[in-house]
Every structure is written in C-alpha cells, then in structure tokens.
Structure 1
Amino acid sequence: MANVFPAGFGELEPFAGWAIQGERARYAKRVSSTMEELQAFYDVAYPLLERNTAYLEKVTLDQISDEDKYLLWAFCSLVTIAFPVEAWGQPRVPDSGPSSIDAVVEPAV
C-alpha cells in the first residue's frame, strides 16, 4: 500500500482520513467524530507540528505534490480539532445548539 504522506511522516498514516480538503468537510469530520478519535489524532499530529511546518515552508504551491497536500490538509484538521481537544472536551462548541460554521470562500490549493 502506498503512503499518503511524504517520507518522514509515517506516524500519520493511520490518520490519513484526517487529510481532508475544505473547511466544511473538516468541520463535519470533527463534529461526527468521538473525543477518543479526536484525541488519538491530536496525540500523534501535535508533536509533529514543528517538523511539519518546517517541511511545508520549503514546498512551493506551484509545485506541491499530492503527498504534500495531504500533509497540509491533515494539519488543517489538527487546527480544526485543537480547541475541542484542549479546551472543551467535546467535538462541538459548548452551549451552541445546532449552530455550524459555513465557509463562503475556501483557499485554493
């Protein structure tokens, strides 16, 4: 089976399902996941944040590979789940009822 992420990020392979393009899709994954799933991804991805940032700073967007896109999207998912893991202890915003986030425009990658 081929790797989804660039060499050096093998720890993330079990979490390839978090490499999601689009803010709406990442939010939907967050609110449909359990805290155990969020925590497991966070525990593996967060320690890689500095290495990921250093790696992606060397990648140009006009030459970005699929593996690099997946890495970028996985770390966008990390941003999406960080506050629920670190502060709320639940996937949804506390006391927010059925509210949701709707991105009108997405960055192009």
Structure 2
Amino acid sequence: MTESVNLPAGFEDLAPYAAVWGSLETQEERYLQRQHSTMKDLKAYYDATAPRLNAIFDHLDQFPMDALPDSEALLYRTALGLTETAMAIEVFNQPRVPYAPFPHKMAIEWNEYR
C-alpha cells in the first residue's frame, strides 16, 4: 500500500523524497537514515532537493515556523534531510562517517556559556 504524500503545489516532484525524509521528525532519525541509505539514493535526493532550497525557503517564509500547515511541515522536514545528505555527498563521499562503527548515534548538546 502506498501512502499519499501531500506537498505544497509546485513541490510535488519531491514526493519520493518526502516519503522517506519528510517522515523523519528528529535529527537523530535523519542521521540514522543517512547511514542506512545508498550513495545512489542520497545523490538522487540531493540533486533533486538542493537546487530547490531557495524556492523551498521562499515558500516556507510565508508561514510562521511554529504553525506550519501539514503540507509545509512535510516540505520543511524533507528539506531538513539535506543537513545529513550534504555531509555524505560533499564531505564523506559515503553514507557513513569514516572510521566510525556502524550504526552509531550522535548527540548534540547546546550549552550557553557566558
């Protein structure tokens, strides 16, 4: 059974990537998705989405970030996947962090130092 992916008008071509990356709610989920993806899949997603970032952000800027409609929230989560995919494509040239055990998790902590 295929679930319908509802992206805003003009972004329907990103539906195959939204089905994967748009369903991920957290940075950790996106991090693990990258590790489990093939370079072929990551490259296809990157090539389809990265050139559209300005259009995606221009569209999303029309809405308050704390109250995105469902289709815009899906588009936003889809675009967030590029934070992980870009590392594989632009830095590692592989889905996984070199010399790190597979799979592994990463925790990001935010501290305010004065």
Q: How much has 1:61 moved relative to structure 2?
A: 2.8
Matched, 1:70 2:74: yes
TM-score, length-scaled by structure 1: 0.84
Instruction: Specify the alignment match of 2:105 in structure 1.
Output: 100
Task: Find the aligned partners of 1:87 and 1:27 in 2 and give their Cα distance.
Answer: 15
Q: Aligned partner of 2:7: which letter?
A: F
Instruction: Specify the alignment match of 2:9 in structure 1.
Output: 7
Unpaired runs of at least 5, structure 1: none
Q: Conserved in 2, the CA contact under 8 Å of 1:24 and 1:103?
A: no
Q: How much has 1:65 moved relative to structure 2?
A: 0.8
Deviates more, 1:89-98 or 1:64-73: 89-98
Q: Conserved in 1, the CA contact under 8 Å of 2:7 and 2:71?
A: yes
Q: Kindly, what percent of the aligned residue pairs are identical?
A: 30
Deviates more, 1:22-31 or 1:59-68: 59-68
How many aligned positions are there? 105
Matched, 1:18 2:21: yes
Bigger Rg over Cα: 2
Task: Find the aligned partners of 1:69 and 1:77 in 2 and give their Cα distance.
Answer: 13
Q: Conserved in 2, the CA contact under 8 Å of 1:15 and 1:41?
A: yes
Task: Find the aligned partners of 1:42 and 1:61 in 2 and give their Cα distance.
Answer: 23
Q: How much has 1:95 moved relative to structure 2?
A: 2.0
Q: How much has 1:35 moved relative to structure 2?
A: 0.6
